């Protein structure tokens, strides 16, 4: 089994590890000229971004040549995922893949504009992440199948989400508005954890227009020096089972 993952704060890397198999980083794969993956079972683990998949994951599905009898997709989310399942089914079909199984694991929502990280961390016990993962892993091991129905209402909701959320928040130029305060020591960690090679650090931190809006640079800065113009709280988050070194190795 092969599991491809995209992670900014460690949630999806932890889920991928729990599923097991050969783990492949989507950002690293995207730096290759050709992506060819063949296995009996192939899956993708990524977060929900405004009822959508991350931009890079959508690009990955277009670029990769995946051959699998059992193709599965797992989202992580904090509040809700709207019609995110429908996006996957349509993207899979466009890539010539049949979606066998899809699920979502409720974890800490690290979308800083809306959620205070302390409040999110405090809700972890009631989310029962380990119980969710045990069920997820058992269903994948059993090769359970799930059918995603797409109706006219589904498509209408997808259009609404795209107009009101995705087009507003999923922008490649997002990082140009990030603020770097005096706590920055130009250690370069932000550049190392960025999955899109969007950050350079010389005499200052510079952002380009390849942002994935994953907030890996904000959550993993050891000095909490990177901020948004508006945030729900100043606390940052990284999955307790994942180290900074793990994030760097996944995305650098």
Over residues 12-52, the pLDDT tens digits come to 999 999 999 999 999 999 999 999 999 999 999 999 998 88
Dump pLDDT digits (tens) for 50-75. 888 999 999 999 999 999 999 999 99
Question: What residue spans in the chain does CATH classification 3.30.70.20 cover?
Answer: 174-251
pLDDT at position 166 is 67
Tally Cβ neighbours within 10 Å of residue 100: 21
DSSP the chain: -EEEE--SSSHHHHHHHHH-SEEEEHHHHHTSS--EEE-SEEEEEEE-BTTB--HHHHHHHHH-EEE-SEEEEEEEESS--TTHHHHHHHHHHHTT--EEEEEEEE-----TTT--HHHHHHTHHHH-HHHHHHHHHHHHHTT---PPP--HHHHHHHHHHIIIIIHHH--TTGGGG-EE-TT----SHHHHH-TT--EEESSSEEE-S------HHHHH-TT--EE-SS-S-S-----TT--HHHHHHHH-
Dump pLDDT digits (tens) for 74-110. 999 998 887 899 999 999 999 999 999 999 999 999 9
Q: d(Cα 149, Cα 154) in Å, to the nearest integer?
A: 8
Q: Tell me which of 3.90.1150.10, 3.30.70.20, 3.10.580.10, 3.20.20.150 is the CATH number of domain 174-251.
A: 3.30.70.20
Dump pLDDT digits (tens) for 222-246. 999 999 998 878 899 999 999 999 9
Q: Tell me which of 3.10.580.10, 3.40.50.360, 3.10.129.10, 3.40.50.1100 is the CATH number of domain 2-167.
A: 3.40.50.360
Question: What residue spans in the chain does CATH classification 3.40.50.360 cover?
Answer: 2-167
pLDDT at position 225 is 97
Q: Phi then psi for 208, rounded to 5 degrees?
A: -110, -160
Among the listed residues 191, 176, 189, 184, the one whose alpha carbon sits nearest the alpha carbon of residue 228: 176
């Amino acid at each position: 089994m092969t599991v491809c993952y995209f992670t900014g704060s460690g949630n999806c890397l932890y889920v991928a590890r729990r599923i097991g198999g050969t783990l492949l980083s989507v950002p690293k794969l995207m730096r290759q000229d050709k992506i060819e993956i063949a296995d009996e079972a192939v899956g993708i683990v990524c977060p929900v971004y405004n009822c959508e998949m991350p931009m890079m994951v959508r690009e990955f599905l277009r670029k990769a040549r995946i051959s699998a009898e059992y193709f599965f997709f797992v989202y992580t989310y904090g509040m809700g995922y709207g019609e995110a399942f429908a996006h996957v089914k349509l993207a899979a079909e466009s890539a010539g893949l049949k979606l066998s199984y899809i699920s979502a694991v409720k974890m800490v929502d690290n979308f800083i504009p809306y959620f205070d990280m302390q409040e999110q961390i405090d809700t972890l016990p009631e989310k029962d992440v380990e119980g969710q993962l045990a069920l997820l892993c058992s269903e994948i091991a059993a090769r359970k199948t799930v059918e995603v129905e797409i109706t006219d209402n589904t498509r209408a909701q997808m259009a609404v989400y795209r107009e009101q959320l995705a087009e507003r928040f999923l922008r490649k130029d997002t990082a140009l508005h990030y603020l770097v305060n005096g706590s920055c020591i130009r250690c370069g960690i932000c550049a190392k954890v960025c999955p899109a090679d969007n950050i350079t650090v010389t005499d200052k931190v510079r952002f380009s227009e390849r942002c994935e809006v994953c907030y890996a640079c904000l959550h993993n800065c050891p000095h909490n020096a990177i901020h948004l113009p508006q945030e729900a709280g100043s606390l940052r988050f990284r999955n307790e089972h994942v180290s900074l070194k793990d994030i760097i190795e996944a995305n650098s």
